[in-house]
Each structure stands twice: as C-alpha cells, then as structure tokens.
Structure 1
Amino acid sequence: MGTQPVSSRHALQLDPEITKNHQDVLSEEALIFLSALVEKFADRVPGLLADRVEKQKKFDQGELPDFLPDTASVREGDWKIRGIPDDLLDRRLEITGPPDRKMVINALNANVKVFMADFEDSFSPTWSGVLDGQRNLTDAINRTITFTNPQNGKHYELNENPATLICRVRGLHLTEKHVEWQGKAIPGALFDFALYFFRNHRTLLENGSGPYFYVPKLQAYQEAAWWGEVFSFAEDHFDLSRGTIKATVLIETLPAVFQMNEILHAMKDHIVALNCGRWDYIFSYIKTLRNHPDRILPDRQVVTMEKPFLNAYSRLLVRTCHQRGAMAMGGMAAFIPAKDPEQNAIVLEKIKNDKSLEANNGHDGTWVAHPGLAGTAKEVFDAALGDRINQMDISRSDDAPITAAELIEPCEGDRTEDGMRHNIRVAVQYIEAWISGNGCVPIYGLMEDAATAEISRASIWQWIKHGKSLSNGKTVTAEFFRECLAEEMLVLKDELGAERYNGGKYEQAAAMMETLTTSEHLTDFLTLPGYELLD
C-alpha cells in the first residue's frame, strides 16, 4: 500500500489522503492523539495475538480449556470493581447496530436504555463507512443529528430523551489498513477508540454521561490489562480522573469464560459489566475445540441457551459479575419481526422464552437487534425487575460451583442436510453483503452479523474435518460440500432473482465460502480475508 504523510507533527501515514468531506473527523488534533496511542500501545498487539496462537496449539494437541492455576488468588480474593455510573445502572434492554445515520437515530429513539453503536460484528469497515460512522455518533452526542430519506422524504431526528450511547470498537485481530505506523497497519481497535474518545468525551461528560465502550473478542486477561492501560493513558492525557472511561467486555470466546474474574480484576478501574456474546461464543467453542471429535456441535438452530454448556456460561457470568459489583448482560435476540401475524406470534414467543431464561438466571439486561422487538423483550425484564433497576442483588452464591467440564460439555442434537444447506445460503449471503460494505443483514427472519456467519462456515469445516455423518446417513466431505454449495447457489439465484444475483458479488462470496470451508486450517475470522476486498 502506498503511503501519504499528512503531517510532521505525528508519525502516521494515511492512504488515501483525507478528503475535505472527512477533515472534520480526522482533524490534526485527533491524529496527534491517535499517534500517541499507537506509538505507546500498537506494538504490543502482535504479541497478544501470538499468545492466542500458542494457546490454540495446545488445544489442538488435546488440552482442554480450564481455569488458570496461577491466578487462583484473584478468583478467591475479596475485591470489587471501582463502580458504575448512574446512567449505566439500568440496562434492562439494549439495542445494537452499525453507526449508519438513520440507524443511530432510530436506535437512540427506541424503547431501550442503551444503544451500542457497532464498529465490529454488524459493521463492514469500509474507510468511508468508518469515518461517516464516527461523524454520525458525534452528531448524535451533540444532539444535531438528522436524516431525510432521499427516496420518500421521510425525516428523522432525535427524541427528547435518547438512550445512553456505548461504542463497540473493533477486535484486536482487525487492523485499519488505511492508517500505517512504521510501515504497518495500525490496530482498528485503537483507531475506533481514539476517534470516538477524542471527539466526544467532553460533550458526553457535560451531558451527564461519559465515554463508554464495548470491548469484543478478548481471549485472555492480559488483553484486558492492555485495554486498561489504554484507558488510563487516555484519561491521564486529558487530566481526567481515573475511571472516567467505562467499558463492558463481551465474554464471547471460550478461553475468556475461564478468566472472567481475571478480566474484571485487570480492568477494575474501568469495567462495569460483562456480556454473554453468545453467537461468537458458539463460534469460539467450535474454533477452540476444532480438533476434538467428541465436541462437535449440531445444527446451529438447535444450539440454544437451554443447552447445558451455554446455560452454565450464563449462570457463571451472573455469579462472577455480581460478586465483583459488576453487571451481567444477556445476549442477542437476532430475530426480526415477521409480516405474517401467525409467524410473528411465534417470533415473539421465542423472544419471551429466551429472555425469560436470562432474567431467571439473574442477568441485569439483554440485547435485541430490531426496535420492533424491544417491547416484548423489555416486558420480560420489567416483570423480573419489579421495582429494582437491575438484579445485582442476585448472587447465585448458593449454586454448586460450575466446573470446567460443564462449560465444555458436548452438545446434543442432530446434524442435518437441511441445516447444512441453510448454513451455506446464510453464510454466502452474509459474506456477499459484508464484502459489498454492509455488515448487518436480515436473512430468513434473523438479523445476521459476522458471528452467525462464522458459526455457519466453521460448523461445516469441522464436520468435513472429522467426516461426520448427517441424520440421513450421508457423510460430510469436501466434495459433498462443493456439490451442496453449487446447488444452493442456484437456489439463491432463484430466491433473489437473476437481476439482483448478477448485480451482486455472490460468485465471489461463494468462492470465499468454499476456500474458508475446505481449507486445511480453520481461518480465525472470515473478516480477515474479507477485509482485503473492502475499499
């Protein structure tokens, strides 16, 4: 990639050059702050990622995840996190989505307590999309954001009391290829954090809120400690008191569930909650245990929170968080409303059952992906909470200790050809959307993001690797998968119509799906090869 120096006052190189349209977002002052962060913290990220690789080698060789013996004193110690700001004490319902301008307005206006603006799994990080997203969030924080639909003239603006805003930054594995330091692309996480914090922290504090973040994909407490240092550096840089920045960490990898106490402790000045990022967690279960033939998951549709290994994960998260004075957030309901009344009634019943399980386990709140489901999910938590604003009084301290064996217990259920073919169609459609610049896609009644597409392709990869049989007796091989892929592409062409199919990137997506699913080694994240195809 060619580089274009933008200033002698900082060490970053940008390509392409900053256009007039984005000079307000990438101001000289913002770049100087970003440069300071990058110079201090970027070169430690490769080591953290290398540690993941080394740990995975041990899992591949037969080791199973377990609690860490050398941090027992942290798990057994008597300590709590620093504290939770008032506007984060009631998080009974959160909505998530990308920082698209119309989405930001609708989400902040929805019947929810929190909007998580997402630069990660529901977002395709094109350069213009990243910069426009940052501007949209600043406009929302300044209460100046509006949007008029060019097709129908419909006008959108913020209501009087919008939801609390939290920004989810990219994971440590993702880079921002348009910004280099010493010839290397910088971590996307630092780019997202630096811009959002620098541009908005003063106004957020003046508004009675603060710079709040969701941190994704952590696999070890050392990564959490790195984030804690980043936050402290930013606070010191602007003479802010320790703990001004607050973060919620998603427990969405299998290794991390064994280090929840350690993650809370490593970030105790800044952390306020952990979240059950269930879809990525299921993907991580597959990825972590990919060489273990006795722990292969069935069709993703049957891997629900009632399954013992997922229910144990939920209960352990509640117990750990509440013991340490942190909140315990539930996971995503990916359903979207159905137009057919009978079908919509089924969707709403699934939402009620899912959220009731979380509320009964003691979670303080939960997620939805669509404003149309906010009312149903909120009713469940309203009923569970009563006069309380959260469930931090539920300690689960009388529960039997949750063991490592429970957290990695094999999951019962069928592997079906219909399920495999459904996974193929979902993954191809999602990949096509993502490489076209859209990371949040309604497919077959669900709001799909990168995590659900990851499950779809990783499951088939694992079935092929271990030569697993389907419920109809067929063995999953690379050849059988390729046959199914070719047939399902014809189904998609018929479903979508020739014009839309031929006008999209479906053939490119199918080729990427084939490579991901039949390669000898499981690719860590589909967004890594996908990012190479983005502008």
Structure 2
Amino acid sequence: MSISSLTHHVRVLGAPGHRHDEVLTPAALDFVGRLAAAFGKRRQDLMRERRRQALRLAAGSPLDFPMVTSAVRADATWHVAPPAPGLTDRRVEITGPPERRMTVNALNSGAQVWMADFEDATAPTWRHVIDGQLNLLDAIERRIDFTADDGKEYRLDGRERLATVVVRPRGWHLDEEHLEYGGRPVPAALVDFGLYFFHCAQRQIDAGHGPYFYLPKLENRYEARLWNDVFVTAQELLGIPRGTIRATVLIETITAAFEMEEILYELREHSSGLNAGRWDYLFSLIKTFGHRTDFLLPDRAKVTMTAPFMRAYTELLVRTCHRRGAHAIGGMAAQVPSKDPAAHEAALAKVRLDKEREAEDGFDGSWVAHPALVPVCREVFDGVLGERPHQLDRTRDDVEVTAADLLSVRRISGPPTAEGVRTNISVALRYFAAWLRGQGAVALSGLMEDAATAEIARVQIWQWLRHRVIDRETVLGLLDEELAALGAEYPWAPVEEVRALFERTALTGELPLFFTPDAYARHLVRRTEARS
C-alpha cells in the first residue's frame, strides 16, 4: 500500500509513546481506516440487533437451534479448512496479555500455542494496546527481551520452535477511544486485528506460520460472517492469499452455543475450531436469563464443568467441531504456583483432573494460565493422543444435545452461601482495583483471574439481589468490609472509584451488559490533541 494511496485518515488521540511510531505508521492507520469504513456501520447494526435479541429473550421468546439454518446442520458434506501450519497440534495452549515479560515466558513455556490476549486479560490503556502490538512484532522478529525491576532478565531461550502466536482482539462491543475515523471511535476489534495483521501477517507467513486469531464474545452466525468478511477484505488489501487467516471462536455466550455449526460454516475457509470459555459462558447465561428464577445459580465454585448443562455444552462443542474437521479446545486452568507444597500439589491435582476429563471427552487441547501448568496439561494429553497431533477422528456420534439440555440449570440450583457472596464481592473489588490501575490479569487466591471472573462475580450478586435470595443490607455491609480490607492490603487502590464501579454494575436495577465499556470511558481513556 503506497503512501500516495492513503485516503482513509484515522486521527490519533492517544499520547505518543516510545516506539509507537513503528506501529502507528500512516499506512497502518490507513489500513485500519479502510476496515472501519467498510465494516463500522455493519458492526453498529449487529450491536443493535444484540440488544433487540436480549429484549426478546427477556420477554420470553424461546431460545433454540435456528430453524432457518437446519439445512446447514443437516448437510454432512461441508468441512472447515484443514489445520494451518503451527496449528495442527494444539494440545497445550497458554494464555495471557501481550505484555513483555508474559510474551517471553509464554513463547518459552513449551506450549504449542500462545494466545496473546488483548481482551479479557488486558486493561486497555492506550499504552498497553500499542505496546502489545510492539511486543508481538518484536516476538515474531525474535528480538524480544525484558529486565524486571529486580534485575531478572527474560529472554527467548533459543529453542527452534516457539509457541505459535494467536491473537485475541477485543470484542465487537468495545471501542478504541484513542483512534477516530469519520468522527467516531474505531471499533476496538478492528484496531487490534488491523494493526497486528498489517505489521505481522506477512512476517508470520515468512516464518512458516500465518496470521491467526481467537474471536471473543460472538453471539451468532451474523457476527461470525462479519469477521469472515473482514478477513477476506484484509487479505485482498495486502495481497495475501484468501484463506491464509485462521480463527478459533470462543463459544462463551449462550446464544452462540445454539449456533456452533453455523459459526463454523460462516468462517469455514478461515476456521481453526472452537473453544469452551467457562466463566464468560456462565456470565452470558445470567445476563440473558437472570430475570428468571429457573436460571438462579448457586455459588460459582459449585457450578463445575460436570454440571449437566455444562456437560451438554462441552460435549456438543466437541461433536460439532470434529464433525466438521475443526479443533475443539478446552477451557482454562487458572491455577498459579503456590509456595506451600501441599497447596501446590492440590492445585496441580485439580488441573490434572480437569484436563483428564477434557482429553477423554475428545478435546484436542486445552488452556493454561501459567507456564508451571504446561507440563501437567501436556502429560495428560500425551497420554490420550500419543504421537497423534489431535483426535479429530473421534466424531462423538454418541452425543445428542437438545435445547433443553443446554438450558437445564435448575438441576444444580441452590441458595448462595455467605462465603460465596463474600467471595464474589471480594474478587470483583480486587479485580476492579487492579484493572483501573492498568492490570488485566491478576493473581487472586491462587488463581489467575481476568475480566471474565469479575463479570461472573458481579452478575451473580446482581442476580441474587434481584431474586431476594440475599438482601441489600447484607451486600452493602460486606461491601464496606471488603473495601476496608482492600484499602488496608493495597494502599494504592482507588477505593471510592472501585466502590462506584461495583455499585454501577452490580447494585442497579438494570444490569449493565459489561463492566468494561463504562469503566474504560471513565477511567482509562486519556485523549490528547489529534495528531495527523
């Protein structure tokens, strides 16, 4: 793309930073502008349709597998594209934000794949967004290193095969307020995708892989179709062969669970599978049906992956993927190492049990949040896969899942415990405090938590209050206690801002769909005078 052809001007409203000019080049910004021009309105229309669908479901419309796409589900002849280079064996995938130390640790971890997460694990300050792009560029060029404040150095260890990089851009519901096109913020998804694709797609191809992505928060086939059209246009603009991009979709909304095959079909030339996102899935379930008593959930710790409706969701995911030649990737093991040997062994035992269930169910790989969990996950999947790179041949024809199976929550319902209420308040507050400070991945009580954890914690409080299984006075008392504990433990914590955020997102009559858009606009946006 020549400079003389630059016609889609994107205004930069974020403050300049070290090496930011390497990412925010005129040509890269023009590329992002072209994507915004082509797809911005359609994205807005789809977000309006999300709200309409939410109102229909709240009014009592049934949720079922779409009748209009029954032919797609019945047609056994179509399959997704074959596995791309670097994505054939995905038995262990490590996730984390694209900050510099995590980038080095993830690439060195021994995992087959690293998901560089601009979404739930990143507090999207302007610096984090652009520094993340720089870190990916440096990683692909194998020139990344990091020296911590204590003098510890982090460098690539020289192994020939590093983890394959897969980028998770922010969801369709988010804006990037520091970039403006046509008088409006650029959709954050197009910023994260567009900057990475522009700078790194050809570099990844030259390195023997390709531009690969994880797609979050999709709610239906139309949102998948939008991504597929973005991919086609991006490849055409940069002269990259159609089908080079591959994308794995996180099935982390209840509505997407009813359109898994349709989502694969829309992305089939660019698809590399589906992933089971546990906490976001539960979060979506409450958002969608939280007004109904038959969807009242107990403490989140009691809603395990063995719950019948969660088993239905994961087994349908494996069957759907393998029927179409796509990888099925399991959920997150979020444990972090403990200095207490007994606690450490107990955590590893939980991880092992979780991964054994996934591998035996037919998943082709799974997620871990910490390098110390890579050997455990690898050992489990090695035991099932052996020398095979996956188990796509296990089509799970024995699985039959109905709409009722996916929605049968009542079988695990029960009142929340006092400990469960306090835990949700504590986790939400501590995560909010870290997020407002710019930290998106946070170790809390032995687990690496991200935005999905805070979301499920705060919507459970909202749901319990709505149905009067807990009273407001109790919640307000616990809120005061946990805020006092937060301030004592972390003197830097913006206690009043954290309180206000919790009250706006958990204690209101109308449930905000996400905590991030409002918190981002209020606390993380720092605009400067526009730069040309």
With normalisation by structure 2, the TM-score equals: 0.95
Which structure 2 segments of 5+ residues have no match? Answer: 527-532
1:244 aligns with 2:244: yes
Could you give the per-residue CA deviations for residues 90-123 of structure 1, whole angstroms, max 9, x where no partner exists?
A: 0000000000101100001002100000100010
Alpha-carbon separation, structure 2, partners of 1:277 and 1:301: 16
1:512 aligns with 2:513: no
Of 32, 43, 67, which aligns to 1:45?
A: 43
Could you give the per-residue CA deviations for residues 262-310 of structure 1, whole angstroms, max 9, x where no partner exists?
A: 0001111101110001110011111111111111111011111011111
Alpha-carbon separation, structure 2, partners of 1:348 and 1:414: 29
Partner of 1:471: none
* Amino acid of the structure 1 residue aligned with 2:476: R
Structure 2 residue matching 1:329: 3-state secondary structure: strand
Alpha-carbon separation, structure 2, partners of 1:398 and 1:422: 39
* Amino acid of the structure 2 residue aligned with 1:443: L
Partner of 1:143: 142
Of 477, 483, 489, which aligns to 1:489?
A: 483
In the TM superposition, residue 153 of structure 1 has moved relative to its aligned partner by: 4.3
Preserved contact between residue 355 and residue 377 of structure 1 (Cα < 8 Å): yes
Preserved contact between residue 459 and residue 506 of structure 2 (Cα < 8 Å): yes
Which structure 1 segments of 5+ residues have no match? Answer: 1-6, 469-475
Alignment RMSD: 1.4
Could you give the per-residue CA deviations for residues 477-529 of structure 1, whole angstroms, max 9, x where no partner exists?
A: 223211211122233344x1xxx33x221331122112211111111111111
1:467 aligns with 2:468: yes
Of 20, 26, 29, which aligns to 1:28?
A: 26
Structure 2 residue matching 1:249: 3-state secondary structure: strand
Structure 1 residue matching 2:86: 3-state secondary structure: helix
Partner of 1:106: 105
Structure 2 residue matching 1:88: 3-state secondary structure: coil
Could you give the per-residue CA deviations for residues 328-385 of structure 1, whole angstroms, max 9, x where no partner exists?
A: 0001011111111111111011101111111111000000001111111111111111
Alpha-carbon separation, structure 1, partners of 2:388 and 2:18: 49
In the TM superposition, residue 77 of structure 1 has moved relative to its aligned partner by: 1.0
Partner of 2:529: none
Preserved contact between residue 101 and residue 154 of structure 2 (Cα < 8 Å): no
Partner of 2:70: 72
* Amino acid of the structure 1 residue aligned with 2:501: M
Preserved contact between residue 364 and residue 391 of structure 1 (Cα < 8 Å): yes
Worse overlay, 154-163 or 217-226: 154-163
Q: How many residues align?
A: 516
In the TM superposition, residue 44 of structure 1 has moved relative to its aligned partner by: 1.0
Worse overlay, 339-348 or 153-162: 153-162
Aligned residues with identical type, % of pairs: 45
Could you give the per-residue CA deviations for residues 238-284 of structure 1, whole angstroms, max 9, x where no partner exists?
A: 22221101100000000000000100011111011100011100111
* Amino acid of the structure 1 residue aligned with 2:35: L
Of 498, 520, 525, which aligns to 1:531?
A: 520
1:456 aligns with 2:445: no
In the TM superposition, residue 66 of structure 1 has moved relative to its aligned partner by: 1.1
Partner of 2:122: 123
* Amino acid of the structure 2 residue aligned with 1:40: A
Preserved contact between residue 36 and residue 186 of structure 2 (Cα < 8 Å): yes
Map residues 110-509 of structure 1 onto 2, 5 A cutoff.
110-160=109-159, 161-399=161-399, 401-410=400-409, 411-468=412-469, 476-494=470-488, 496=489, 500-501=490-491, 503-509=492-498
In the TM superposition, residue 64 of structure 1 has moved relative to its aligned partner by: 3.5
Partner of 2:10: 12
Alpha-carbon separation, structure 2, partners of 1:403 and 1:93: 30
Shift of the 290–113 alpha-carbon distance from structure 1 to 2, 3 Å rule, reads same
* Amino acid of the structure 1 residue aligned with 2:53: K
Structure 1 residue matching 2:14: 3-state secondary structure: coil
Preserved contact between residue 6 and residue 27 of structure 2 (Cα < 8 Å): no
Alpha-carbon separation, structure 1, partners of 2:330 and 2:6: 46
Structure 1 residue matching 2:440: 3-state secondary structure: coil
Structure 2 residue matching 1:15: 3-state secondary structure: strand
* Amino acid of the structure 1 residue aligned with 2:243: G
Preserved contact between residue 17 and residue 127 of structure 2 (Cα < 8 Å): no
Preserved contact between residue 170 and residue 189 of structure 1 (Cα < 8 Å): yes
